[in-house]
Amino acid sequence: MEMSPFLGGEEMSKKKEIDDRFKKFGTVSFTSVTKVNDFIDFLEKGKVMGTRCQACGMVFFPPRADCYHCLSRNVEWFEVSGKGKLVSYSKLKYAPVGFEGDLPYSIALLDYGDYKIFGRLAGDIPDDEVNLGMEMKTVVNKLPNGQLNYVFEKA
Amino acid sequence: MEKVAIIGVGQSAFVRGYPGSIRELAFEGFKEAVENAKVSVGDIDASIICSAPEYDKQRSPSGVLAEYLGLIPQPTCYLESLCSSTSMGLRMAYSLVKSGLHDVVAVLGFQKMSEISSAESQERMGRGADIQWESPFGTMMPAYYAMFAKAHMEKYGTTLDDMALVRVKAATYGPIYEKALFRKPVTLEMFTDPNHFMAGPVASPLRAGDCCANADGSSCLIVASEEKAKALSKKPVWIRGLGAASASVNMAGRDLFTGLAVARQASEQAYKMAGVTPKDIDVAEVHDCFTISEIMAYEDLGFAKPGEGRDLVKSKETYKEGNIPVNVDGGLLSKGHPIGATGGSQIRTIVLQLRGDAGEMQGKDPEIGLVHNIGGVGLYGNVTILGR
């Protein structure tokens, strides 16, 4: 069927730029477009960032574009810094499809007080040096397939 | 106050590789429930179809299943809350009946997990968590629950053996329940034998024996108004308490890692609605997707104080002969866990117990039973209290 110019044919033929930066997040990303795509640019600069609501001051990690507390859309970025405490972790011996090449790896949760961060432990920490409650820091990590994530290192 | 009853229950055998399609699988649980209720299909005036999406290819399964089960042109819809879908379905059926919109509603849960590989299924389950911020790290259900196990061990001194004993209990009943997937006995020694598959590491500290297995299965509950129940059923079981809650999908939004907040909230609501306390519960089904889950459930439901859940298994209080028998059908650990069918199976077991129809699994004349059914990693929680 020929596209009529009156039905938006001309408009549709123009290729729209899609900001799909988020597809770079993690070994396999399941999201490509998000309002917080700048998170990826920050990762590329070595920074892990959360967001803070400019209206009410709520702090979010993972970063959000919208504040559920006061419904404001005015959020600003802040850099995750300092140390968090290891809440818990688990070392995987099996992986879901797409992650087999990363095995073995440990998923983990750090508590920074105002917020918590879910991620992975750095791969080079010996098992017997991982203890709940230990202080760790969050650092950007480049994966072998060129993707980006962040991991927790001993502080 | 108008009461609402369950008048019929059914489930398929829970198996690996069901030799049929999802509509045929659904028919198994449905047929048993309708026959159990001694109603005709035409008595059912609405259906709620429950499963977790993406294990089979059918989009909008409610229409297809309703047609196959002879439930058209009555209204039908699809409902999901992952592993607690059928408990949520029962909650919705309760409100449809209580409101007077319908008199008899079928809640049908199904899952055919064998259409995809185990690794694919781990990926699907991992995507039942936060796909934007967690799944890219390579998450899967056993690893999430393992984080709770680790935290529980650290805070309360719960041991690997304590967790293994939950599996040993489950395997006491698997062999006597003909619909269970795993029907062999399990011993503590299997967990300490590095060559035994039970001891194989999955996600530290959880071992293969700590995890339930994927399965194919269906379950069905026939829910009726008080008037219909009294007219149609000799032994209606009444819905006395319903509780439901949700939590942050990302672990970063949680505060509790030694229990599930949704289970505490849902049970508080259900106890209040039923006007009972944990001490009044005569028999229970809890969501033992992993061994640690059952220990946490005891504590979240108030059967034990926080940190003392393990003692109930050690002292055999939750065995059939104990004070509060739990999962005497073998639980998810023995039955297998066909996600969308699981809650209906748990509810079926309690209904049979309250009616005195549980055969070899039957406990001592229970009057009040409880079902604890969790979706995702404590993302959704449903607690249902039933009574004679």
| pLDDT value, residue B117 | 86
What CATH number should be reported for the domain holding residue B81? 3.40.47.10
Say whether A26 and B251 touch across the interface (CB within 8 A). Answer: no
CA-based nearest residue to B21, from B143, B99, B111 = B111
Which parts of chain B have pLDDT scores under 50?
Answer: none
- Geometric angle at alpha carbon B250, from B244 and B256, rounded to 5°: 65
Task: Give first-to-last CA distance, chain A, whole Å.
Answer: 63
Chain A, window 66-105: residues with a beta carbon less than 8 angstroms from a chain B beta carbon: 87-100, 102, 105
**B125 occurs within a structural domain:** no
Q: Which of A88, A118, A149 sits opposite B250 (nearest CB)?
A: A118
B84 within 8 A of B143, measured Cβ to Cβ = no
- Is 60 exceeded by the pLDDT of residue A10? no
pLDDT above 90 covers a percentage of chain A that reads: 86
Cβ atoms within 10 Å of B165's Cβ, excluding its own: 21
Pairing relation of β-strands B4-11 and A148-154? unpaired
B112 within 8 A of B55, measured Cβ to Cβ = yes
A107 touches chain B (CB under 8 A): yes
Mean pLDDT calculated for residue range A108-118: 98
- Is 70 exceeded by the pLDDT of residue A134? yes
**B309 occurs within a structural domain:** no
**B40 occurs within a structural domain:** yes
Q: Which domain holds residue B58?
A: 4-116+214-232
- Residue B159 CA to residue B18 CA, distance in Å, equals 36
- Residue B134 CA to residue A99 CA, distance in Å, equals 13
- Is 50 exceeded by the pLDDT of residue A3? no
Mean pLDDT calculated for residue range A129-152: 97
Pairing relation of β-strands B46-50 and B76-79? parallel
**B388 occurs within a structural domain:** no
Please report which confidence band the pLDDT of residue A1 belongs to, taking 50, 70 and 90 as the band edges: very low
Q: What is the pTM of this model?
A: 0.95
Helix B85-98, helix B339-355: angle, nearest 10: 60
CA-based nearest residue to B298, from B344, B334, B260 = B260
Say whether B138 and A107 touch across the interface (CB within 8 A). Answer: yes
**B197 occurs within a structural domain:** no
Q: Which of A26, A87, A94 sits opposite B257 (nearest CB)?
A: A87
Say whether B147 and A115 touch across the interface (CB within 8 A). Answer: no
| pLDDT value, residue A5 | 47
**A119 occurs within a structural domain:** yes
A60 touches chain B (CB under 8 A): no
**A16 occurs within a structural domain:** no
Query: What is the number of structural domains in chain A?
Result: 1
| pLDDT value, residue A2 | 46
| pLDDT value, residue B119 | 80
Mutate to test the interface with A, among B130, B133, B202 (most CBs of A within 10 A): B133
A61 touches chain B (CB under 8 A): yes
- Residue A150 CA to residue A154 CA, distance in Å, equals 13
**A10 occurs within a structural domain:** no
CA-based nearest residue to B55, from B4, B104, B2, B114 = B114
**A84 occurs within a structural domain:** yes
**A14 occurs within a structural domain:** no
Say whether B137 and A27 touch across the interface (CB within 8 A). Answer: yes
**B148 occurs within a structural domain:** no
A51 touches chain B (CB under 8 A): no
Residues of B in contact with A87 (CB under 8 A): 147, 151, 257
**A1 occurs within a structural domain:** no
Say whether A132 and B205 touch across the interface (CB within 8 A). Answer: no
Say whether B144 and A120 touch across the interface (CB within 8 A). Answer: no
Which DSSP string do the residues of chain A spell out, in sequence order? -PPPGGGTHHHHHSPPP---GGGGBSSS-S----TTTHHHHHHHTT--EEEEETTT--EESS--SS-TTT----EEEEE--S-EEEEEEEEESS--TT-GGG-SEEEEEEE-SS-EEEEEE-TTS-GGG--TT-EEEEEEEE-TTS-EEEEEEE-
Cβ atoms within 10 Å of A147's Cβ, excluding its own: 17
Residues of A in contact with B214 (CB under 8 A): none
Place of tokens 């299924």: B121
Count CA atoms closer than 13 A to A141's CA, side-chain side.
19
Please report which confidence band the pLDDT of residue A14 belongs to, taking 50, 70 and 90 as the band edges: low
Residues of B in contact with A105 (CB under 8 A): 138
Q: Which of A22, A93, A118 sits opposite B202 (nearest CB)?
A: A93
Render pLDDT for B81-134 as a digit per residue (tens, 0 to 9).
999 999 999 999 999 999 999 999 999 999 999 999 888 888 888 788 899 999
Provide the annotated active-site residues of B.
83, 337
ipTM > 0.90 for the complex = yes
Residues of B in contact with A145 (CB under 8 A): none
Residues of B with CB under 8 A from a CB of A: 117, 119-120, 122-123, 126-127, 130-140, 142-144, 146-148, 150-151, 154, 200-206, 250-254, 257
Q: Which domain holds residue A62?
A: 21-154
**B338 occurs within a structural domain:** no
3 state SS of B244: strand
**B27 occurs within a structural domain:** yes
Query: What is the number of structural domains in chain B?
Result: 1
Say whether A107 and B147 touch across the interface (CB within 8 A). Answer: yes
Instruction: Pick the residue from chain B with its C-alpha nearest to A63.
Output: B133
**A8 occurs within a structural domain:** no
**A48 occurs within a structural domain:** yes
